[in-house]
């Protein structure tokens, strides 16, 4: 396997990679989906409603890039309700806007990140607004020390805009002394469309944390892996099923490197 020991920092997509986005969102869409008959198209697959919601959300990101993430979530929620021809309350629409701050982390996230922190600086690059990210760090990811958090709210645009990655490169260098051009930065994400496609465009090496998203039945909101590979739009060099699996391989490589160094000294 290619070496993971040459990097100084990891940048992470947060939702879908560290936080269980699809489970949290599925729950918060219940005010819509619970009103639908079993035969409704939004219930045709377990992820259909999530995918349609994501379609509306991505349109909002493009057309209203300065709209804060919580308001974008609420707007997408209302659009999905309109598509389904059901009524929803203002409180339900407002509640989903705060959802990312309370959705659960994957079981391997905190342990895996704690292990990775021994070897790298940790950065979040997220489309989520500051308030939700702060709540997630204090809540579901409590105990993990991040060196920097860069959000769409700070940047003024949403991934997959290349502006977000340029901001990452500039600030990682200014704030942390980490130089992407020197091969010191590695991006870690599940989302193919929002992260791995632009990562290839800007020459950022990356790790695909699949979480089942390498299987067609689990593509969810991340993108169609086979089609993107066929079109040559992604170029990740490593694939793991979880942050925990990735962290285990990182530790194995660093321990092997340390062992080799001791052997030479002996």
Q: How confident is residue 134, by pLDDT bands cut at 50, 70 and 90?
A: very high
| Residue pLDDT, tens place only, 195-223 | 999 999 999 999 999 998 777 655 555 67
Q: How confident is residue 92, by pLDDT bands cut at 50, 70 and 90?
A: very high
Within 10 angstroms of residue 65's Cβ, the number of other Cβ atoms is 15
Q: How confident is residue 229, by pLDDT bands cut at 50, 70 and 90?
A: very high
Task: Catalytic residue, from 13, 28, 70, 108: name it.
Answer: 13
- Judge whether residue 250 has pLDDT over 50: yes
Instruction: Find out whether 176 and 136 touch, Cβ atoms under 8 Å.
Output: no
Q: How confident is residue 224, by pLDDT bands cut at 50, 70 and 90?
A: confident
Identify whether 160 is preceded by a cis peptide bond (ω within 30 of 0): yes
**How confident is the model at residue 113, as a pLDDT?**
99
**Torsion angle, CA of 150/72/190/230, rounded to 10 degrees?**
-120
Question: At a CB cut-off of 8 Å and minimum separation 6, what does 28 contact?
Answer: 77, 95, 96, 99
Relative to beta strand 148-151, strand 121-126 is parallel
Percent of the chain with pLDDT over 70: 94
Mean pLDDT score across all residues of the chain:
93
| Residue pLDDT, tens place only, 16-70 | 999 999 999 999 999 999 999 999 999 998 889 998 999 999 899 889 988 999 9
User: Which position has the higher pLDDT, 224 or 30?
Assistant: 30
Question: At a CB cut-off of 8 Å and minimum separation 6, what does 114 contact?
Answer: 143, 144
**How confident is the model at residue 218, as a pLDDT?**
53
Quote the CA–CA distance of 221 and 218 in Å, as a whole number.
9
**How confident is the model at residue 221, as a pLDDT?**
55
Q: Would you call 13 a catalytic residue per the annotation?
A: yes
Quote the CA–CA distance of 137 and 131 in Å, as a whole number.
10
pLDDT, average across residues 129-135: 97
Instruction: Find out whether 222 and 190 touch, Cβ atoms under 8 Å.
Output: yes
């Amino acid at each position: 396997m290619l070496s993971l020991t040459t990097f100084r920092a990891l940048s992470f997509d947060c939702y879908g990679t560290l936080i269980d986005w699809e489970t949290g969102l599925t729950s918060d869409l219940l005010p819509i989906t619970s009103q639908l008959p079993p035969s409704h198209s939004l219930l045709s697959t377990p992820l259909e409603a999530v995918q349609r919601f994501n379609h509306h959300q991505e349109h909002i990101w493009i057309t209203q890039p300065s709209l804060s993430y919580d308001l974008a979530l609420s707007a997408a929620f209302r659009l999905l309700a309109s598509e389904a021809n059901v009524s929803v309350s203002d409180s339900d629409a407002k509640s989903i806007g705060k959802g990312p701050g309370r959705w659960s982390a994957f079981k391997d996230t905190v342990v895996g990140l704690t292990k990775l922190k021994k070897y790298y600086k940790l950065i979040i690059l997220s489309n989520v607004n500051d308030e939700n990210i702060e709540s997630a760090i204090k809540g579901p990811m409590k105990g993990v020390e991040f060196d920097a958090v860069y959000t769409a709210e700070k940047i003024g645009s949403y991934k997959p805009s290349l502006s977000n990655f340029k901001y990452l490169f500039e600030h990682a260098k200014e704030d942390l002394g980490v130089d992407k051009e020197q091969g010191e930065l590695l991006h870690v994400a599940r989302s193919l469309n929002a992260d791995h496609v632009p990562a290839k465009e800007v020459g950022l090496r990356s790790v695909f944390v699949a979480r089942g998203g390498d299987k067609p039945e689990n593509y969810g909101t991340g993108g169609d892996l086979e089609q993107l590979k066929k079109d040559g739009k992604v170029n990740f060099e490593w694939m793991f099923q979880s942050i925990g699996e990735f962290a285990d391989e990182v530790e194995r490589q660093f321990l092997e490197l340390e062992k080799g160094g001791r052997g030479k000294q002996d």
